Every structure is written in structure tokens, then in C-alpha cells.
Structure 1
Amino acid sequence: LQQPAEEVMVSTDENLDQLREKYAQFAGSVNGEENITVLETDLIRIELTNKGGHIKTVELKGYQTYDSLPLILLEPESSRFGLTFFSKNRLINTEDLYFSPSTSETNLTVSGDNTMSFSMRLYTDLPDGEKNLNSYIEYLYTITCNNYLFDLTINLEGLDGVMSSNNNYMGLNWFADLRKQELVQDQWNGSTIYYKYLSDDVEYMSETEDDDEQISTKLKWVSFKQRFFSSAIIAKDAFDNGKLTVIEKKDHGNDRYLKTMSAEFELPIQLQGTTSIPLSFYFGPNKFYTLKAYDLDLERQIPIGWGFFLLAWINEYIVIPTFNWLGGYGWNYGIVILMLTLLLKLILFP
């Protein structure tokens, strides 16, 4: 009766050895059961998965698609996020590994003026296979109510000797298929990647063709922009060596997605002691004053004639406030645009 148990134990040990060959001190986090934690405010609903510790789904409240469905910016089938680095000469991708959540609660809500923090930790292994609670990668999410922007701080603790000693950087990879939110689509609908240099202007990639760029200059943020909504990742310091890609979806048998967008960066790290990498995400509407309030030049994703001072001034201080004022009456955008056009004609051609 004992022999089968011994055989199972040997098989398990052999399996662990095989995992260590591939995943080094992260072998204990390869197998697990996926669990979802929901973070919710009055504006946004976020699902986090313990597999990879990252954002799985983002839903904007108060908005719907053209066919009256919930407005989803990210979804599990079409988005990825992970860190890559070398450990014992093995390439590790955190997206493949199971993190440990800071609480067993699966639904967390923040309201009023409150702020909520929630973390996922990827622990390394002790020699006996147990988790080393003093050695981990942590994703610390901090969310404030009534805000489309929230923080993600990546903390590295006790990883000296776990990551390769010559690692001065770790990779960050973000990928998403952008869902179609409108009934009528055209290639000039403004869907592309916008990015801001650390100490310079905002640039954007092609809106009508596939495009890719390798950027050696430091970046402040990168945004996966659609006509009315954006998904942006923002560095408190900077991203290094960005590789950005936009690919138009050409599979006419699947009209669910518009474009594929990806961003790859390098994050500078220190393996001695604790390293903290503060980032932020913005998932929300492309409303001029909402974006401008963050003082990050995110509003420059909205084409109001930035290259011409007078045109930009007129749009920012006359056209946009008037548009918002008319929108306050509860009219749909078609009527608002018609009324705005009539008002401008009356002013310009009395």
C-alpha cells in the first residue's frame, strides 16, 4: 500500500526538479488556480488575476458601446502584461506565474474620498520549496474614488542573488487588442499609440497603417488611444528603450477588434535592498479637461490644432467649453455637434 505513494513522491520531486530547471527559484509559483479580485469605484471596475498579478479586465461605468453593452477597454482574451528578466540564466516572464493576493476578499470597493490599496506578490522559493516571504516581486495597486487614474508600484524585495547580477534592467511588456466601441469605423478615427518624451513633446504613430517604432529616448507615458477612450501607462520617472507597435486588424471574419497595440520598455532596477518603480494607469474618456487636470499633457491626444496657436486657443477656450455646455442638456452628440456648428456660424457670419 505504501509503494504507490512513494512512486507519487518521486514523480512529484522529479517534476519540481524539472520546473526548477526552467523557472529557477520561481518554480513553486508555476502551478496554481486562477482567482479574480475586483477593485471597484464609482467610475471604473477592474478585475485583477493572480496569474501574472495583472489587470485582466477594465470596464468604464457610465458608458456603453453603440449596441448598449458595457464599455470594456481591456479584456482577458486580448490583453497581456508582464515583467521579464533573467534568473540563473533562465528567462522569467511574470505573466506565467501565480502571485499571492494581500487579502482573500474578492470584491473591494472604494467610495467617497477614500483610497484603497491592494497588492499581489510573487515569492521566490526556499531550498525546501516553501515560499521565501522576504524575497518577492510585488504589484501594489492604489485606487482613489472618482478618478480614472490609479497607481501601480512595482516593489522588488530581497532579489539579490535571485536575478542575474548583471541585470540593471527588467523588461515590461504591455499588449492589447482594442475593441470596437462604435458602429461605424474608418481608418481615420484616431486610433493609434500616442507617447510623450520625458522632457519634450507628445508624438503619435500612424492612424491609417501598421507602424512600429524603436525609441531610445526616455518616455514619460504611452497611450493606446481610440477616438473616445484611452488606456495609458505612465512612469513617475521614465521608461527606457521603448518599442511600440500598432497593427490594424485585417481579419474580416472577426469584427470585434480594431487594432493590436503593444509597448515594450526597460525599467532600471537595483538588486540591493528594495527597489520601487512607481507607475500609473489611466483608463478613461478622452475628455479634454479630465485629461488636462492630470498635468501630464495627456490632453494632447485630442486633435485641436496643436501646431497652430490661435486654432488651439480657440478650440480649448471657446469650442470645447461650448460643446460641454451644450452636452449638459442631455442631448446626444449628433445634436450637440449640430447646435455647436450653428452657434459658430452665427458668431463668425452674423
Structure 2
Amino acid sequence: MDRNQATGLILFAAVLLIYSFYFSSPEPVTDEPTPAATEAVDEPTSSDLNSQAVELPDSARSVQARQKFGEFAEMTNGQEEIISLENELVKISFSTKGGEIKTVELKEFKTWSKQPLILMDEKSALIDYQISTSKGPISLNQLHFGSSKGTTTVEEVPAQQLTFTSQGASGKITRTYTLADGQYTLGHNLSTSGFQSITDQSISINWMDKLKKQEADIEESRRKTHLNYRTDEDGFDYLSASSDEDAESLASPVKWVAFKQRFFTAGIIAGDHFTSAELTQTIPKDTLSVKNMEAAIMLPLEGGKSSVTYYFGPNNFKILKHVTEDFEENVDMGYVFVSWVNKYIIVNLFHYLEKVFTNYGVIIILIVLIIKLALFPLTYKSYIGMAKMRVIKPEIDELKEKYPDDPSKQQQEQMKLFGQLGVSPISGCLPMVFQMPFLFAMFFFFPNSIELRQESFLWAHDLSTYDSIYTLPFTIPFYGNHVSLFTLLMTVSQIAYTRFNNQLTAAQGPMKNIGYIMPVTFMFVLNSYPAALSFYYFVSNMVTFGQQAIIKRFVDDKKIRAKIEENKKKNVNKKKSKFQSKLEEAMKAADSNKKKK
């Protein structure tokens, strides 16, 4: 024992002696000391001092608790215990101090490093319910609860139930959690009764979470991580991901708030609605967390009761669709003009093939074949349209030679020629336009498909991220420091297809070269995108190449020429259509204005 410890012990003993002298009741004086008096005279041992030191703070805390918590003071005493609810999908741990969620583990998933996937824990997240009282706001996390477990049913599904009860002198608080079998949702009912000091019939829920890193590529994870919400007035929305820090104050009723990561979501859903919410998200400077999110939500406490539902689980479109209204929007299916393809066609097709095949590379190939087969009539029409343009190319070249210095006149004569020959210049492009939603839909589907997470195919160890066959000793701007083989294959196949397509259409000038620029551009864009996306585009290019090669064998340019000549004879005296007349008038007016200028 050093000098400071000895001095402290002596002073502490002196305080105890003074305390006992002034506050203990007087003992009767006798000739012989009683056992109690003898013990008082004996020199106190170290264990005696320690036991008395524990009793004093408890006494002092009791007085302080009464001053700070009022009628809730008795509820601040107790010992913390950890209790869990779990089913085959999720394990959720609670603390009896607050009756609050502490950790959430998704049992069917692992992190990128093959560790148990802890969606949130007490080191990274905090959920705090506060009630307003005459003593000020009181956090339920400051109160101790007793617990009991039981079973029940939720919509005829067996469920576990955990009830926390904290009893005070004048009332009690009860928190009941329900976890059904085979569900990622956790029901929560809260009730208060008997307290006179509660001043506001609402509860403030403060949820803070430093979202844990679950994937290897943190930059891609941050791009796909948003604080999402749904209001009764405006529907689904989210905080912008364009800035390092963003916040939103919602005064209208809010149905749910979700901390959405790339593949997993933690959300809270109101039984009726939240009256308001303050939402904030920030991107940390380090890589210890993906994003830091906070939500301060006001929940009505009607008749002393309120209810919410938590969702802790994967971003699986079909699962989220059954949670609550618009909750499936946590899976980004793309813009309006392509989202319908993913929501109503690709998702259902993908899940159907999952039931039959276990290899996701095979599933991607089958999706390509099915889509290409369904769109084959459009592909055929596109080919025929391009073939017609190729056949009449000599006539078009003649017009260019006839009016070399008058582009407007060239266009007018070309339109007249198209009408005579019965050829539409957009007949080859329009079918391709109808196929574009399917092409762009995959740009959203594969990067957000949790089904592909940690699924391998050929040399790709994980189809949900890029397939790196070589790591560069330097970083190329807009490309990265790795080489994706699927992206290279996609690029080569696109260049080969472009060369073949130019031969079919007899393309010249800028249009001939632009087809080669696009594959190279996409090589840079897709190098860090999921391997599944590049593989899909590669297979799609190869199938399209094969389709056009087959069509070419069965389409005779001589027959097309004969058909065009037949149209030419029929349309010798044909009047111009209204559309053609208006188009020619517009072109003449534009040419006239150009000459005036």
C-alpha cells in the first residue's frame, strides 16, 4: 500500500467514525462491553471498510434518485442481465436495464470476412426511449426491468414473447417483444400506467447507429447506403447520398424509418404513425463504419400505450414487400422507366429459377436466354429494318452526291425516297429502343441482388462484387487498381458485335466509330461493378451476335431488294402522308430561317 492509499484509508475511516458518532442511536452504558460494543472498539478490517463503502453510495444514490426521478426512483435499482429471443433467422439480445435491444445477429449470413453478421450491437448502436415527466425527460435505459418469457401466435404462426416489467411506487412500465418463427420482424408493445408525473402523451425514440462494415468494398457500400423513410404525405423518400452530411426534419406523419445498407436493413415501423422525425446521416472520415445515422422520432402514447415493429434482415424484395407499405423500396430497382421490368419480370423469373438451379452463373445464362427469346420478334424486325437501309444505300449515296452542299435538301429528298420505297429510317432503331428497359434494368438489379452475395462462379469468388484476376501496382483514374476479366470479356464481345453490326448496316462516318467508343467507356465504368452484371452483358452480347448470325443466313438481300422495287412501283403516284408533309414543311422552314441568318 503506497502513501496515498494509506492516507485515503485513514481519512475514510475517520469519516466513518464521525458519521457513526453523530447518526447512530445511543447504546446503554454497562460495566462490561456488549459484543456490539466490542466489535466497534476492534480495529476495522479491510473487508469491513469495503462493505461499508458499498452501503454508503447506495444510500446516497437513493436520495439522489428520488430528487432526479421522483416516482420513478425505485425503478432505477437492480442488476443488469442479458436475455435473448431467437428463431432460425435472427438472434436478438436484450438488456433488463431499459428492456432495450442490445445486439442483432442475422444467423443465415456472414460478413465478407466470414465472421458472424452482427447487424448492430451496443458498441455501435443505441436505441433510447424517453418519456417526458415533471422532473424532465427520463430514459427507459436508466430503469431496471424484471423479465418473463412465454409463447404466443402471430397470424397463426408460433412466436416467442419476452415481457419486461418495471414496477414503481405509483405505477409500472411494460415492454413486450414478440418474435415469430421464420420472420425478421420484431413486434414491440409499450404501456405505462399509474404515473402522475408524465407530462406528454408521446415518447421520444432516439436511434443512433454507426453502421458496421459488412462488405469488403466500403466505397460501393457507402454508395448503396441510405437513410430511407416514408411519410403519409409524400410517400417513399431518402436522404441524399451526394454530400458527406445530410439531414431532414419531417413534420408530417411518418410511417417508417430505415437504416438501409447495401444488402441489409434495420428499420422501425409505427403501428399507426410517428408524429415527426429528425433524421441525420454522415460519412465518417475513417473506415470503421459505413455511415453514421441518427433518427429522433416522436411516437404517440395514446392511452398510455404504443406499438412499433422492427425489421432486422436482408434486402430481399419479396420479403420486404410483405413488411409494410413501400418497404420494398429499400431495394433500389431503378428509375420508373426500368423499375417495372425488375419488379414484375426479373424478380419473379429469378426466384423461380432459384428453385430449380443452385448455380447462379447458370441462372444468369438462363435469364439471358429467356429474355432474348421473348424479345426475338423485336430483334428480327430490327435486323430487317437495318437490312433495308443497307440495300437502299446506293440511292442514298446518289442523293449525297447530287446535293453535296445542301444538307437540308438531302434530308428532304431522302424522306421522299423513303416514302417511295416503303422504308422507314427508324424501323431498325425502334425495336432496339423497346429493348433498352431490359438492358438498363440489369444495371440496377444485379448490384442490389442479395441472392448473389458471396455466390461464386468460375473464377469469380463473389458475384455481388468485381472479379479481380490481377491487382495493379497503381491506380488508373476512373478504372481502379484491379482488372476484371468478365468486364474485359464484355468489352471484347461488344467490339466484335459492333464490327459485325457495322457490316450489316454499312455504317459510315462518325456512326461507324461511336460503336467502338461505347464498349471502351463501359470497360472503365463496369470494372468495379459486380461480376454478375458484366457476365450478364457478356452473355447477352454473345447471344445477340448468334441471333443475328442465324437471321442473316435466312434473310436474302435480293428478296428485300425485290420487295423494295415492288413498293417503288406501287408508290409512284402515292400522295404524301400528313406526317411526311408536315415534316417536309418543318425542314423547309428550318432551312429558310438558316438562310436568313
What is the TM-score normalised by the length of structure 2?
Answer: 0.50
Counterpart amino acid of 1:146? G
Q: Distance in 1 between matches of 2:374 and 2:218?
A: 32
Contact 1:195–1:202 (Cα < 8 Å) also in 2:
yes
The structure 1 residue matched to 2:359, chosen from 316, 320, 331, is 331
Count of residues in Structure 1 that have an aligned counterpart in Structure 2: 327
Q: 1:305 to 1:163 in 2, by over 3 A?
A: same
Q: Greater strand percent: which structure? A: 1
The structure 1 residue matched to 2:218, chosen from 169, 185, 209, is 185
Tell me by how many angstroms 1:61 deviates. 1.6
Q: Deviations over 1:286-329 (max 9, x none)?
A: 11111112342111121213533xx2221112222233344443
The structure 2 residue matched to 1:215, chosen from 220, 243, 250, is 250
Contact 2:152–2:159 (Cα < 8 Å) also in 1:
no
1:140 — aligned with what? 176
The answer to which of 35-44 and 261-270 deviates more is 261-270
Q: Distance in 1 between matches of 2:293 and 2:69?
A: 28
Contact 1:222–1:232 (Cα < 8 Å) also in 2:
yes
Counterpart amino acid of 2:188? L
The structure 2 residue matched to 1:316, chosen from 343, 350, 362, is 343
The structure 2 residue matched to 1:149, chosen from 176, 185, 203, is 185
1:290 — aligned with what? 319
Tell me by how many angstroms 1:96 deviates. 2.3
Q: Greater helix percent: which structure? A: 2
Counterpart amino acid of 2:136? R
2:329 — aligned with what? 300
Q: 1:222 to 1:337 in 2, by over 3 A?
A: farther
| Percent of aligned positions that are identical | 30
The structure 2 residue matched to 1:260, chosen from 281, 292, 300, is 292
Counterpart amino acid of 1:144? A
Q: 1:327 to 1:172 in 2, by over 3 A?
A: same
Q: Deviations over 1:91-132 (max 9, x none)?
A: 2111222222125x9xx99999412221112332x2xxxxx5
| Unaligned stretches of 5+ residues in structure 2 | 1-35, 41-47, 376-543, 548-597
Tell me by how many angstroms 1:196 deviates. 0.7
Q: Relative contact order: is structure 1 or structure 2 higher (C-alpha 8 Å, sep ≥ 6)?
A: 1
Counterpart amino acid of 2:164? M
Q: How does 1:205-244 map to 2 (within 5 A)?
A: 205-209=239-243, 210-244=245-279
Tell me by how many angstroms 1:344 deviates. 4.6
Q: Distance in 1 between matches of 2:366 and 2:70?
A: 64
Counterpart amino acid of 2:282? I
2:301 — aligned with what? 269
Tell me by how many angstroms 1:17 deviates. 1.2
Contact 1:300–1:306 (Cα < 8 Å) also in 2:
no
Contact 2:162–2:177 (Cα < 8 Å) also in 1:
yes
2:203 — aligned with what? 170
Q: 1:20 to 1:90 in 2, by over 3 A?
A: farther
Contact 2:94–2:103 (Cα < 8 Å) also in 1:
yes
Counterpart amino acid of 1:184? D
Report the RMSD for the aligned CA atoms in angstroms: 2.9
1:95 — aligned with what? 141
Q: 1:13 to 1:289 in 2, by over 3 A?
A: same
The answer to which of 36-45 and 113-122 deviates more is 113-122
SS of equivalent to 1:237: strand
Tell me by how many angstroms 1:12 deviates. 4.5
SS of equivalent to 2:219: coil
What is the TM-score normalised by the length of structure 1?
Answer: 0.83
Tell me by how many angstroms 1:32 deviates. 2.9
Counterpart amino acid of 1:152? H
Tell me which structure has the larger Cα radius of gyration.
2
